[in-house]
């Protein structure tokens, strides 16, 4: 085991391999407050990559209803339970241990899936604490909400008004997920064939199917359960981050990097993807006007999903405002309270950056704000709100402007006559 | 439903499990949905309509719990602040030199393409 630095935990940790970091890292921010579980991302991915025989159970992108939903079922509850068994009552954070640029959430005092693996009774060759979901657990992408309900006994009919959908008796929210293309991937660590690798140019984690022998160690090890086994080919598969688009090989962008299918299809405008610069220790290099760097490291409104697992995931979430904080702290770490406070009361820059979501399918590398007039000032829920009509300009990899938008962006609507115009 | 009924003996299935709930969860949820959609450019009527759609389970639940008057109050308050987006109806271009099909061809027709 090597010692590597995990900035999300604020400390060094054990990892089976030496830390190697890409020039740029594939990363993304999802704003859960906006997600309505329309599943457009899910279907965009499915119809692009996993529509073949043997891939029926595969949803590289999925949206699950928390707290009870999960794909595969119970994935997070099971991993958390395993960690708790390995290190009872010790899976805690110390936010006061000095929150700084190298440790923005303080220090994690518990054990990661790599560290806890050594303490659990597993085969000697096992490097990561994990479990293999049952076939049944893979069946439903979002159990009880993944198919329309119809009258009993009538085939191919469903209630068009939705009355028969499950009624939630308590709080809930929709968690959209794809592979986190972790900085310290558990799937990569566990593969006895070394079939999984992290690309040096963009940090995308890929699985070489010609090397894979279907041992399913990656399926067992990935705490987010985003590596999946395909029965008819007897090898595993995983999200490839739509790498041809990220490489800029789609003719539409003329060589410029393009966001993945799931990002581009998001009608709720909850998603933004980027390629961030890394330091030599794997932490994010300062890049003040990169929108993802701003949201994760400056405004700190976007937080990693289950950072305590220790894989340093590169998916970040703006947490849902209405959910009890204890649950959110478990899911996103100790930065939750600050993130929600900032998102509830966005300052001038944050409000402008939030306008960048889904205005283009090109990957944004830098933004610039041109200040505009104060257009609203007044009380709102006990606080004073000021809205400036600033213009935010997005630039691509080649430094050229991709688009510009305003906080008070006019909404252009096609007339009914031309709804289908291209 | 393709699923069997949940097995009450299964310790991992959440049946009758208590979850922590804050008193103002529904109010907060209503504000979030109203704010987000107001920022996306929805009008007051469109946001209210969203709360009446059972498919938008979060907003629909908030309406059921808090009642119509309270939801109207939340939406009105939110729109006053965040509903600043101006709606501009922009028509598609009428002609293009590169197109060989006129936009008139895209007008709604009857079933199977026949004129109504």
Class of residue B24 by CB neighbours under 10 A (exposed 0-12, middle 13-18, buried 19+) = exposed
Q: Is the dihedral of CA A390, A394, A400, A403 positive or negative?
A: negative
Q: A320, B32: Cβ pair inside 8 Å?
A: yes
| pLDDT surpasses 60 at A106 | yes
Per the DSSP assignment, residues forming a β-bridge with A28 are A273, A315
pLDDT in the model for residue A123 = 67
Q: Compare CB distances from A165 to B19, B57, B103 and report the shortest one's residue.
A: B57
Q: Which of A184, A7, A14 is nearest to A106 (CA)?
A: A7
Q: Which residues pair with A304 in a beta bridge?
A: A316
Chain A hits for B40, CB-CB cut-off 8 Å, are: 269, 411
Dihedral sign for Cα atoms in the order A380, A386, A390, A394? negative
Residue A47 near residue A150, CB atoms below 8 Å: no
Per-residue pLDDT tens for B27-83?
A: 999 999 999 988 888 889 999 999 998 888 888 888 988 999 999 999 999 999 988
Per DSSP, the three-state class of A24 is strand
Q: Interior CA angle at A369 toward A365 and A371, to 5°?
A: 175
Per-residue pLDDT of A367-421, as tens digits, reads 999 999 998 899 998 899 999 989 999 999 999 999 888 887 666 766 666 666 5
Which residues sit opposite A11 in a β-bridge?
A6
Q: What is the pairing mode between strands A2-6 and A11-15?
A: antiparallel
Closest CB to A163 among B21, B39, B54: B54
CA pseudo-torsion sign A145, A148, A150, A155: negative
Grade residue A14 by pLDDT with cuts at 50, 70 and 90.
very high
Which pLDDT tens digit goes with each residue over B66-75? 999 999 999 9
C-beta separation of B103 from A418 below 8 A:
yes
CB contact under 8 A, B88 and A149: no
CA B115 to chain centre: 33
- The pLDDT, as a whole number, for residue A226 is 98
In this structure, the dihedral spanned by the alpha carbons of residues A376, A377, A383 and A388, taken in order and rounded to 10 degrees, is 50
Tell me if chain A has a CB within 8 Å of the CB of B53.
yes
Q: What is the pLDDT of residues A124-148, one digit of tens each?
A: 667 899 999 999 899 888 887 766 6
- How far, in Å, CA of B13 to CA of A31, rounded? 28
pLDDT in tens, A53-71: 999 999 999 999 998 889 9
Give the CA distances from residue B63 to residues A15, A163, A164, B60, B72, in Å, rounded to whole numbers and listed in that order. Answer: 49, 14, 17, 5, 9
What is the percent of chain A where pLDDT is above 70?
91
End-to-end alpha-carbon separation of chain B, Å? 39
The model's pLDDT over A324-342, given as tens digits with 9 standing for 90+, comes to 999 999 999 999 999 999 9
Selected residues 83-112 of chain B with any CB under 8 Å from a CB in chain A: 84-92, 103, 106-107
Smallest Cα–Cα separation from A1: which of A11, A13, A12, A16?
A16
**Distances B32 to A32, A224, A351 between C-alpha atoms, Å:** 11, 27, 15
Q: Check if the beta carbon of residue A256 is closer than 8 Å to that of residue A396.
A: yes
CB atoms A68 and B41 under 8 Å = no
Compute, in degrees rounded to 10, the torsion defined by CA atoms A393, A396, A397, A399: -50
Which stretches within A147-238 are classed as H helix? 186-190, 217-221
Contact B51, B33 (CB under 8 A): yes
Report the pLDDT value the prediction gives residue B89, as an integer from 0 to 100.
54
Pairing of strands B87-89, A411-413: parallel
Global ipTM: 0.81
The predicted pLDDT at position A138 comes to: 94
Q: Does residue A185 have a pLDDT over 70?
A: yes
Long-range interactions of A290-297: CB distance < 8 A, separation 24+: A290/A364, A290/A365, A290/A366, A290/A367, A291/A29, A291/A353, A291/A356, A291/A364, A291/A367, A291/A394, A292/A27, A292/A28, A292/A29, A292/A316, A294/A349, A294/A353, A294/A367, A295/A29, A295/A350, A295/A353, A296/A27, A296/A29, A297/A101, A297/A104
A266 DSSP β-pair partners: none
Q: Is A184 helix (H, G, I), strand (E, B) or coil?
A: coil
- Closest alpha carbon within chain B to A326: B20
Of B29, B55, B91, the CB nearest to A415: B91
Reported confidence tier of residue B112, pLDDT bands at 50, 70, 90? very low
In the 8-state DSSP scheme, what is residue A331?
H
Q: Residue A31 is encoded by which pair of tokens?
A: 């704003």
Phi, psi angles (nearest 5°) of residue A412: -95, 125
Q: pLDDT tens-digit profile of A292-313?
A: 999 999 999 999 999 999 999 9
**Do B56 and A36 lie within an 8 Å CB cutoff?**
yes
């Amino acid at each position: 085991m090597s010692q590597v630095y995990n900035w999300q935990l604020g400390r060094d940790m054990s990892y089976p391999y030496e830390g190697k970091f890409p020039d740029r890292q594939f990363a993304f921010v999802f704003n859960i407050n906006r997600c309505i579980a329309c599943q457009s991302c899910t279907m965009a991915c499915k119809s692009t990559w996993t529509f073949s025989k043997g891939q029926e159970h595969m949803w590289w992108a999925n949206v699950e209803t928390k707290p009870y939903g999960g794909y595969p079922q119970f994935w997070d509850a099971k991993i958390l339970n395993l960690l708790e068994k390995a290190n009872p009552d010790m899976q805690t954070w110390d936010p006061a241990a000095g929150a700084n640029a190298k440790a923005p959430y303080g220090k994690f005092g518990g054990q990661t899936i790599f560290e806890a693996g050594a303490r659990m009774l597993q085969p000697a060759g096992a490097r990561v604490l994990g479990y293999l979901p049952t076939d049944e657990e893979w069946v439903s992408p979002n159990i009880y909400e993944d198919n329309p309900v119809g009258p009993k006994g009538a085939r191919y009919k469903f209630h068009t008004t939705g009355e028969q959908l499950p009624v939630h008796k308590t709080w809930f929210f929709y968690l959209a997920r794809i592979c986190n293309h972790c900085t310290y991937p558990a799937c990569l660590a566990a593969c006895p064939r070394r079939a999984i690798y992290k690309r040096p140019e963009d940090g995308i984690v890929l699985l070489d199917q010609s090397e894979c022998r279907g041992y399913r160690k990656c399926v067992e090890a990935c705490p987010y359960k985003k590596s999946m086994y395909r029965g008819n080919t007897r090898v595993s598969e995983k999200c490839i981050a739509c790498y041809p688009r990220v490489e800029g090989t789609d003719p539409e962008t003329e060589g410029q990097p393009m966001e993945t299918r799931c990002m581009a299809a998001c009608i709720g405008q909850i998603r933004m993807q980027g390629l961030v610069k890394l330091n030599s220790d794997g932490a994010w290099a300062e890049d003040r006007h990169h929108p993802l760097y701003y949201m994760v490291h400056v405004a700190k409104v976007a937080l990693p999903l289950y950072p305590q697992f220790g894989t340093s995931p590169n998916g970040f979430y703006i947490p849902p405002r209405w959910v009890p904080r204890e649950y959110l702290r478990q899911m996103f770490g100790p930065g939750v309270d600050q993130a929600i406070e900032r998102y509830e009361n966005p300052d001038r820059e944050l409000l402008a950056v939030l306008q960048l979501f889904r205005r283009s399918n090109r990957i944004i590398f830098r933004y610039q704000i041109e200040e505009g007039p104060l257009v609203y000032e007044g009380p709102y829920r006990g606080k004073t709100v000021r809205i400036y009509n600033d213009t935010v300009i997005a630039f691509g990899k080649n430094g050229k402007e991709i688009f510009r938008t305003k906080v008070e962006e006019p909404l252009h609507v096609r007339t009914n006559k031309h709804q289908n115009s291209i | 439903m393709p699923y069997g009924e949940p097995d009450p003996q299964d310790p991992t299935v959440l049946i009758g499990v208590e979850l922590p709930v804050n008193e103002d969860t529904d109010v907060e949820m209503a504000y979030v949905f109203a704010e987000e959609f107001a920022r996306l450019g929805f009008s007051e009527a469109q946001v209210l309509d969203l709360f009446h759609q059972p498919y938008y389970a979060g907003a629909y639940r908030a309406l059921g719990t808090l009642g119509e008057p309270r939801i109207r109050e939340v939406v009105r308050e939110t729109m006053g602040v965040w509903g600043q987006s101006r709606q501009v109806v922009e028509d598609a271009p009428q002609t293009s030199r590169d197109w060989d099909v006129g936009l008139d061809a895209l007008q709604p027709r009857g079933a199977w393409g026949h004129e109504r």
